Chain A
């Protein structure tokens, strides 16, 4: 009897889903509004929300109807935060407390600011007006944890200058640099190690590809640092065919972070522009003829060859090199793949689609994103429209 009931119920649900699927191909304005609203905000619309949307659509104001949905509290605190949170830790965990990195990304999106500035600007969003809110600190995350619990992120975030809140970043040439000089980024990616993880995570978060995707053994290895064994386990071929393929490009880019570290004792970001952090010169005897870091210069050796597919974009006569994280952020933000990567996040979240970075849909959405002045809310609204049904 129970099995029979289960079978019946299962059949019923499958029929129901088939009905949903069939209905979706011929979605009414109500269907479209419902779907876009629930996918953008993560919560079901109320009847009046659907009506407001269909009324605007009836007047031909489709873009306006969808864009309004991106101003919902949960679009910021759930939809965007769940994407940005994964960028702020090595494990790419979504369930991570709000921090200065994710708060800044949310704030820039809310304020319709060019989203590329997340990698370049002297900006950090802090919280205001939340009950029991501790003061902002460069040494802990309490301010943001409380903000997330006690405040509405749609209204509580306020833009400040990083250089005003962190004296180490004041009057410097190559910093502040948006996310790269936030405490959360430092704690996750500059602490310990060699800062190579900062390159790895930047590629993963902002170009949507991990280091192995960039593997290219054809580029010169003169930027591979001294701590990399050139004859690992007695097999020089292993270095040439494997290690070099990633390190040549990665170490070239990693120079940008040479002045940055995270001090575990004081629990804060460190920036010192007089000499590279010690970690850059550690194990220098492993291969003494390797690259010795002397400043925060970086070069993109992946700008040509197979990794030119990223669509790096430089001004006329500009070389793919620079100093410090800000210029690195400019290069990443200007690349075609940055826009396609942001479109990929949007389609995964809003359309539940996992598209290839080369897909025509992502290329088209990336163009919309660029044309909007890199406005993330416009990108998400356009993405919701693209899978709302016809």
Chain B
């Protein structure tokens, strides 16, 4: 079954916008980090004794781990491999040989270290490609799709795609791919995408399965923006 059509470009565009906006926000955070004041350096030179030339200095007394020193809360992006792993971990997706080949071929042009500086528009584009093949294979494979969504929404007719069904699709994807912490945060945003996709479904441009794939791509390609 061919899942994608040119009409889904809209959702890809939205995904890119979401990513671009997120990465800009994170970039700003990374450039203005909250710094933790370091403790004054204490020399350890007693440890490296050379016979008579031993130099005595006070030993370090490390503070306990529970010390009140504030931690520096940072955000990171998922690396390309973490994304790939996340897709597999969240679902019963077994990447096809062509998906593995695509991933191997472009891994170097996906985020590698998870820093904002390691994240540019080429990488964003490749993340959408990776998310696209994941979503196509997840929703195209009946067993994996049923296991992930529990209810087989892809078999619904356009008129059966009720607001409740749409919300369930989006929630399942977000909880599965983004995890617990972000489950409620982006529902408002996601609803805009769902409304648009349902319009496409209702006018007959895309099937329900294609609409699901569009939502899936938006969620899956936004994973790097989620705090690790």
Give A contacts to B, CB under 8 Å: 5-6, 9-10, 12-14, 16-17, 19-21, 24-25, 30-31, 34-35, 38-39, 42-47, 50, 74, 77-78, 82, 94-95, 300, 302-304, 307-314, 319-320, 335-336, 351-353, 355-356, 358-361, 363-368, 382, 385-387, 389
Q: Across the interface, do A359 and B62 meet the contact criterion of CB distance under 8 Å?
A: no
Total interface residues on B, CB under 8 Å, equals 65
Q: Across the interface, do A17 and B26 meet the contact criterion of CB distance under 8 Å?
A: yes
- Report B104 CB to chain A, min CB distance, Å: 10
Query: How far does the alpha carbon of A352 sit from the alpha carbon of B226 in the complex, in Å?
Result: 13
B186 contacts across to A, CB distance below 8 A: 16
A21 contacts across to B, CB distance below 8 A: 73
Query: How far does the alpha carbon of A101 sit from the alpha carbon of B104 in the complex, in Å?
Result: 22
Q: Across the interface, do B71 and A386 meet the contact criterion of CB distance under 8 Å?
A: yes
Within 40-69 of B, Cβ neighbours of A (below 8 Å) are at 41, 43-51, 53, 55, 60, 62-65, 67, 69
Q: Across the interface, do A304 and B63 meet the contact criterion of CB distance under 8 Å?
A: no
Known: A308-B47, A364-B63. Contact between A19 and B39, CB under 8 A? no
Query: How far does the alpha carbon of A12 sit from the alpha carbon of B185 in the complex, in Å?
Result: 10
Give B contacts to A, CB under 8 Å: 17-18, 21-22, 24-26, 29, 36, 38-39, 41, 43-51, 53, 55, 60, 62-65, 67, 69, 71-76, 78-79, 81-82, 85-86, 89-90, 107-108, 112-115, 175, 177-181, 185-186, 188-189, 223, 225-228
Known: A360-B69, A366-B62. Contact between A17 and B108, CB under 8 A? no
Query: How far does the alpha carbon of A146 sit from the alpha carbon of B112 in the complex, in Å?
Result: 22
17 A/B residue pairs, CB under 8 Å, sorted by A: A10-B21, A19-B185, A35-B227, A43-B89, A46-B90, A74-B89, A95-B107, A308-B47, A309-B41, A311-B44, A313-B48, A319-B51, A360-B39, A360-B69, A361-B71, A363-B60, A387-B74
**Residue on B with the closest CB to A24?**
B73
Q: Which of B36, B85, B108 contacts A78 (CB 8 A)?
A: B85
**Residue on A with the closest CB to B54?**
A304
